[in-house]
Structure 1
Amino acid sequence: MAAQLNIVLGMSIISVLLMLEVEAQAGTFDVVAKFGAKADGKTDLNKPLLDAFKAACASSSAAKVLIPKGNFLLSGAKFQGPCKAPIEFLVQGTVMAPPDVKAFKEPIWVNFYKIENFKMSGGGVFDGQGAQAYKREGCVKNDYCKHLPISVRFDYLTNAMIQDITSKDSKQFHVNVLGCKNITLERFTVSAPKDSPNTNGIHIGRSNGVTVLNTKIETGNDCVSFGDGAENVLIKGITCGPGHGISIGSLGLYQNEQAVKGIKVSQCALSNTKNGVRIKTWPNSYPGAASDLHFEDISMTNVNFPIIVDQKYCPWNRCNLKEESKIKLSNISFKNIRGTSTQSEAVKIICSATFPCQNVELDNIDITATGSKGPAVSICTNVKPKLSGKQNPPACTGKVPPTKRMF
Structure 2
Amino acid sequence: MVLMGIIGICNAILLVAGLAWCSVLPSAAGQGPVFNVVDFGARGDGITDDTEAFVRAWTAACGARGSSATLLVPPFKSFLVGPTRFNGPCASTRTTVLVIGTITAQPASSWAWAGKNYWLMFYQVDGLTVTGNGGVLDGRGHTWWSNKCKDDTQNCIPEAPTSLVLMSCHNAEVSHLTSKDSPQMHIAVITSRTVSVTQLTITAPGDSPNTDGVHIDRSENVQITGSTIGTGDDCVSIGPGCRFVTVDGIVCGPGHGVSVGSLGKNGAMESVEHVDVKNVHFINTMNGARIKTWPGGRGYAKSISFTNINFTNVDNPVIIDQFYQDRGLPNMAAVALSNITYTNLQGTSSQKTAVDFDCSGIGSCTEIHVKYVAITASDGRATEARCRNAQGDTYGYVNPRIPCLIS
Which range, TM-score by smaller chain? 0.7 to 0.9
Q: TM-score, normalised by structure 2?
A: 0.86
Q: Secondary structure at the match of 1:82?
A: coil
The residue that corresponds to 1:12 in the other structure is: none
Q: Does 1:381 align with 2:379?
A: no
Identify the residue that residue 395 of structure 1 maps to in structure 2.
402
The separation in 1 between residues aligned to 2:302 and 2:335, in whole angstroms, is 10
Partners of 2:149 and 2:360 in 1: how far apart?
Answer: 31
Separation in 2, partners of 1:67, 1:274 = 36
User: 2:185·2:213 contact (CA, 8 Å) conserved in 1?
Assistant: yes
The DSSP-based 3-state class of the residue aligned with 2:209 is coil
Deviations 1:224-253 (A, max 9, x none): 001101110000000000001000111100
TM superposition shift of 1:396: 2.2
Change (3 A) 1:255 1:356: closer
Change (3 A) 1:226 1:24: closer
Structure 1 counterpart of 2:44: 39
1:66 aligns with 2:72: yes
Q: 1:130 aligns with which of 122, 128, 141?
A: 141
Match of 1:154 among 153, 162, 166: 166
Q: 2: distance between equivalents of 1:278 and 1:297? A: 15
Matched, 1:116 2:126: yes
Residue 225 of structure 2 is matched in structure 1 by 213
Larger Rg: 1
Inter-partner Cα distance in structure 2 for 1:386 and 1:323: 22
Q: CA deviation at 1:146?
A: 7.3
Partners of 1:139 and 1:161 in 2: how far apart? Answer: 35
Distance (Å, rounded) in 2 between the aligned partners of 1:375 and 1:268: 23
Corresponding residue number in structure 2 for 1:14: none
TM-score, scaled to structure 1 = 0.86
**Paired position in structure 2 for 1:99:** 107
Residue 270 (structure 1) aligned to one of 282, 290, 294? 282
- Residue 331 (structure 1) aligned with residue 336 (structure 2): no
Distance 2:377 2:333 in 1: 29
Alignment identity in percent? 37
Task: State the alpha-carbon separation in 1 of the partners of residues 226 and 252 from structure 2.
Answer: 11
1:48 is matched with which residue? Answer: 53
- Pair 1:57 & 2:62 matched: yes
Report the RMSD for the aligned CA atoms in angstroms. Answer: 2.2
Residue type matched to 2:316 in 1?
Answer: F
Unpaired runs of 5+ residues, structure 1, are: 1-19, 399-407
Name the residue aligned to 1:351: 359
Unaligned runs of 5+ in 2: 1-25, 152-156
Conservation of the 8 A alpha-carbon contact between 1:116 and 1:157 = yes
1:88 corresponds to 2:96: yes
| SS at structure 1 position matched to 2:390 | coil
Structure 2 partner of 1:249: 261
Q: Contact 1:327–1:355 (CA<8 Å) still a contact in 2?
A: no
**Counterpart mapping for 1:295-310 below 5 A:** 295-310=306-321
Q: 1:203 aligns with which of 204, 215, 218?
A: 215
How far did residue 26 of structure 1 move? 6.5
- The alpha-carbon distance between structure 1 residues 25 and 366, as it changes in their structure 2 partners (threshold 3 A), is closer
